[in-house]
Amino acid sequence: MSEVRFGPGGIPDWLEPMVRYCSRCGGLLGFGPIEGEERDRLSCPSCGFVSYVNPRLVVTTLPITGRGEVMLIRRGIEPGRGRWAQPGGFLEIDETVREAAVRETLEETGLRVEPGAIVGLYSRLHAGVVVVAFEAQIVGGVPTVTRESLETRPFAPEAIPWPEIAFETSLSALRDWVARVRPDLPLPDLTTIGRSFGG
Ligand SMILES: [Zn+2]
């Protein structure tokens, strides 16, 4: 994954090929000042279309068992293969955030959940996404392994495998959840768990 380019547009390099052409007329977009806008933007010299590049929303859950454990998935694919993460995925255009939370959790774990409070909302600039994490009570289903997962299993708040968590946002969400449900537990120093995150 390339670095965030805080240059023109602040658009991650990997995203540039997807925002090169005008989605209205197919012309080549240019980058620069737009009348009435406070920052430089991509726009089409041919038809005047302004191409706004905004983050997408990733909806995730921390599925909670009746014993107060969190179900995590050991990922079977890159990025983060072999490491643990919560279920989640991109919000579709025709569903609400809570519908997406229920759908993604069912698809990735086989578990039916009722999303409750939002544990946190996290920006991942280099990935161009915002990640929302719901605490979600498990109300049915059977834990399953999917094409993308090696294993699904519960972890008590005091047994989170911190060094084996896949993503920085997963670390943040789990840390914020533990701080909420078990304020007596020591929290991991996320800067010392630092290493290269795959995405
Ligand atoms: Zn155009």
Distance CA 197, CA 143 (A): 26
Distance between Cα 14 and ligand 1 center (Å): 22
Distance between Cα 141 and ligand 1 center (Å): 48
pLDDT (0 to 100) of residue 196: 46
Distance between Cα 128 and ligand 1 center (Å): 24
6: pLDDT strictly greater than 80 = no
Backbone angles phi, psi at 50, to 5 degrees: -100, 125
Distance between Cα 144 and ligand 1 center (Å): 47
Q: What are 11-44's pLDDT values in tens digits?
A: 788 888 888 999 999 999 998 888 888 888 899 9
Distance between Cα 199 and ligand 1 center (Å): 32
Distance, C-alpha 166 to centroid of its chain: 11
Distance CA 196, CA 189 (A): 16
Is 75 within 8 Å of 81 (Cβ atoms)?
yes
Q: Which residues surround ligand 1, an ion (CB under 5 A)?
A: 22, 24-25, 27, 44, 46-47, 49
pLDDT (0 to 100) of residue 198: 43
Distance between Cα 95 and ligand 1 center (Å): 29
Q: How many helices (H) and strands (E) does the chain have?
A: 2, 10
* Domains of the chain, CATH where assigned: 11-51 (2.20.70), 56-181 (3.90.79.10)
pLDDT (0 to 100) of residue 3: 40
- Nearest-CA neighbor of 52 among 73, 37, 67? 37
Distance between Cα 25 and ligand 1 center (Å): 4
- Mean pLDDT of the 183-196 span: 75
Distance CA 122, CA 172 (A): 8
Distance between Cα 9 and ligand 1 center (Å): 18
Secondary structure percentages of the chain, helix, strand, coil, to 5: 25, 35, 45
Is 142 within 8 Å of 134 (Cβ atoms)?
no
Q: What are 97-148's pLDDT values in tens digits?
A: 999 999 999 999 999 999 999 999 999 888 899 999 999 999 999 999 888 8
User: Would you tell me how many other CB atoms lie within 10 Å of the CB of residue 117?
Assistant: 11
Distance CA 185, CA 105 (A): 27
